[in-house]
Amino acid sequence: MKKSNSILMIIVIVIIASLIVWKIGIPNLSGKNKEISSEKVAKKVKKESKKIKKKETSKAKSSSSTETSSSVESESSSESSSESTSSASSYRSDVKFPALQNYAGKTYYAVDRDSAEYPQMFPTSFTITSDGEAIIISGRQEPIEYVRTGKFGSVQLGGGPVFVFEFKPLGSSDEVEVVNQGQYLTYSTTMPE
């Protein structure tokens, strides 16, 4: 009986001791985890603030350099603008496709569309957007994905799976001839009466 009581007492003492160790150990571990995580957060905040400061200083430097360069450019451009006003008006660098520079931003109207053999093959008008990225035909805007130039100055616009539109200049960029399956129709930037 004494042996079983002493064994039972030892087991109870071991259980109580392990509970005490467990209770004391857990808060210390969680406190250490909190300290470690707060240190990590503080380090991240310091790194981010350093990155932001570097970006701000680089932006400030670049903006001041662009201000000086733009003032230099404006001075040089004002000097050269009087020399080449006619060439500057014909060349546009903001057009997506260089072949469309003379046609971008213009609306072309069909000249005597009813005289065509198949008038339904030709829209009453079309407009190439000022950036040269799309063409508006009968109120529908089609994105221009490629431009090809061919014989006699013809210009072919394409986009999507089936969209193709072709025209060629007639002496100037204000008059063009639209080609559709072997049929031709003249278009002009002046609206017919």
Which run of H or of E encompasses 23?
helix 2-81
Query: Is the pLDDT score of 77 beyond 50?
Result: no
Residue type at position 17: A
Q: Does the predicted model carry a pTM greater than 0.85?
A: no
pLDDT at residue 65, rounded to an integer: 46
Task: Identify the band that residue 75 occupies on the pLDDT scale cut at 50, 70 and 90.
Answer: very low
The CB density around residue 97, as the number of other CB atoms within 10 Å, is: 20
Token code pair at residue 21: 């160790």
pLDDT of residue 145: 92
Task: Give, in order, the Cα–Cα distances in Å from 68 to each of 2, 118, 172.
Answer: 98, 59, 41
Alpha-carbon distance 178 to 168, whole Å?
Answer: 7
Where do the domains of the chain lie?
Answer: 1-91, 98-188
SS3 of residue 136 by DSSP: strand
Where residue 52 falls among pLDDT bands split at 50, 70, 90?
low
Residues counted in the chain? 193
Residue pLDDT, tens place only, 118-147:
888 899 999 999 998 999 988 889 999 999
Mean pLDDT of the chain, nearest integer: 74
The reported pLDDT for the residue numbered 152 is 78
CATH class (in words) of the domain with range 98-188: mainly beta
Tokens of 25: 């150990």
Q: What is the per-residue pLDDT across 20-46, written as a single tens digit (0 to 9) for each?
A: 877 776 655 555 555 555 566 566 656
Of all residues in the chain, the percent with pLDDT exceeding 90 is 19
**Residue 115, pLDDT score:** 86
pLDDT in tens, 85-127: 333 344 446 788 888 888 999 999 999 888 888 888 899 999 9
Average pLDDT value for residue range 158-175: 86
